[in-house]
Amino acid sequence: MSGELCAWWPELHHGPGISHRFFLLGLKHQQFFETGLHETGLRIWPFNFFFVQFLWSKPELVTGRTCLELGAGVGVLSVAAVVLKPSLYVATEISTRCRKLMAINMAMNTCSADVAVVSSLKFSKRDAQSFVEGQQSQLFGFHSAQPLPKGKYSMIMGCEIVYEDVVV
pLDDT digits (tens, 9 = 90+) for 16-70: 788 888 888 887 655 445 445 556 667 777 788 889 989 999 999 999 999 999 8
- Measured CA to CA, the distance from residue 44 to residue 37 in angstroms comes to 15
- Name the pLDDT band for 1 (thresholds 50, 70, 90): very low
Q: What's the pLDDT at 114?
A: 82
Asked if pLDDT for residue 118 goes beyond 70, the answer is yes
Question: Is the distance from CB of 88 to CB of 67 less than 8 angstroms?
Answer: yes
What are residue 30's phi and psi, to 5 degrees?
Answer: -70, -30
Neighbouring residues of 28: CB distance < 8 A, sequence distance ≥ 6 = 3, 4, 5, 6
Question: Is the distance from CB of 66 to CB of 149 less than 8 angstroms?
Answer: yes
Question: Is the distance from CB of 115 to CB of 82 less than 8 angstroms?
Answer: yes
Averaged pLDDT, 105-132: 77
pLDDT of 148-163, one tens digit each?
A: 666 678 898 988 876 6
Neighbouring residues of 75: CB distance < 8 A, sequence distance ≥ 6 = 24, 91, 101, 102, 105, 106, 118
Asked if pLDDT for residue 2 goes beyond 90, the answer is no
Q: What pTM, to 2 d.p., does this model score?
A: 0.77
- Name the pLDDT band for 130 (thresholds 50, 70, 90): low
Choice between 123 and 78, residue whose per-residue pLDDT is larger? 78
